[in-house]
Amino acid sequence: NYMVQLKNVNKWYGNFHVLKNVNLNVKKGERIVICGPSGSGKSTTIRCINRLEEHHQGEIIVNGITLNNDLKNIESIRRDVGMVFQHFNLFPHLTVLENCCLAPIWVKKVPRREAEATAMRYLEKVKIPDQAKKFPGQLSGGQQQRVAIARALCMNPDVMLFDEPTSALDPEMVKEVLDTMISLAETGMTMLCVTHEMGFAKSVADRVIFMDGGQIVEENEPNEFFNNP
Ligand code: ADP
Ligand code: ADP
């Protein structure tokens, strides 16, 4: 009944032991926030789950599929797992709508009309349907990040991963992205979020995980976590 499971996961960058026996169980519908100092392995953990990185020891299971590095396995995981990055990673030469439709059309073979209808539905959910025909460069950072969220949702993922989605944004745009994430949480989406936004963690997270030096050093419900100096 777990959406994501990490069992004794270890990873090295060269000689550098970046993940040390990481164990994590994420239930369907659970919202997990991962925090901790810079360099502690948060991003690497997230990137191992969607196969942007490979791990070297232990097991990662997503939606019942044990991850290995063969291409079929990677493709199937990328369909199940939506990812939102710090720097949006939109295609600059494609419109907002085209960004949202690319993977559904080319990876999932969804007919264009249907992909566009779905994309418009999600662009409305993230409150930027008027920007559909614009290019990412014409949008604010906050709007671009909401496009990135809509784009991930267009693949109808089972779990959404967020890697510091607000840390590249100007302060006045942070709230609109957090609000989008909060309303997504309210739909029951399974979410794994690396963020320093403790207000978000407090209001949305079922559990807060604290990483340090490549290890999970603490794991608590948000209330316990914040009352525990
Ligand atoms: P966090 O997300 O907690 O800031 P990361 O997972 O990004 O941490 O990085 C953990 C450590 O691994 C850092 O010390 C970082 O410098 C190092 N690191 C990250 N990516 C690479 C890489 N591709 N090659 C070598 N070292 C890396
Ligand atoms: P239903 O019609 O089944 O009640 P919704 O229309 O509320 O579902 O949502 C359908 C999907 O849209 C959800 O599974 C979720 O992925 C996505 N979604 C809903 N609200 C938002 C939002 N505010 N921001 C981003 N995605 C959302």
Counting from 1 in the atom list of ligand 1, the atom nearest the Cα of 164 is: 2
Give the per-residue pLDDT at 229. 55
88: which 2 tokens? 């949006």
**Dihedral, CA atoms, 118, 119, 121, 122, nearest 10 degrees?**
120
Amino acid found at 203: S
200: which 2 tokens? 């978000």
Q: From the CB of 148, is ligand 1 less than 6 Å away?
A: no
Q: From the CB of 180, is ligand 2 less than 6 Å away?
A: yes
Q: From the CB of 152, is ligand 2 less than 6 Å away?
A: no
β-strand pairing of 159-163 with 2-13 = unpaired
Helix (H, G, I), strand (E, B) or coil at 4: strand
Distance separating alpha carbons of residues 5 and 16, to the nearest angstrom: 23
First to last CA, the chain: 33
Spacing, Cα 184 to ligand 2 middle (Å)? 6
Instruction: Give the ligand whose atoms come closest to the C-alpha of residue 100.
Output: 2
Half-sphere exposure of 51 (CA within 13 A, CB side): 20
Tens digit of pLDDT at every position of the chain (229 positions):
899 999 999 999 999 999 999 999 999 999 999 999 999 999 999 999 999 999 999 999 999 999 987 778 888 898 999 999 999 999 999 999 999 999 999 999 999 999 999 999 999 999 999 999 999 999 999 999 999 999 999 999 999 999 999 999 999 999 999 999 999 999 999 999 999 999 999 999 999 999 999 999 999 888 776 765 5
Closest listed residue to residue 128, CA positions, set 197, 186, 177, 196:
177
What was the ipTM of the complex prediction?
Answer: 0.70
Residue count of the chain, please give it: 229
The percent of the chain in helix, strand and coil, each rounded to the nearest 5, is: 40, 30, 35
Amino acid found at 102: L
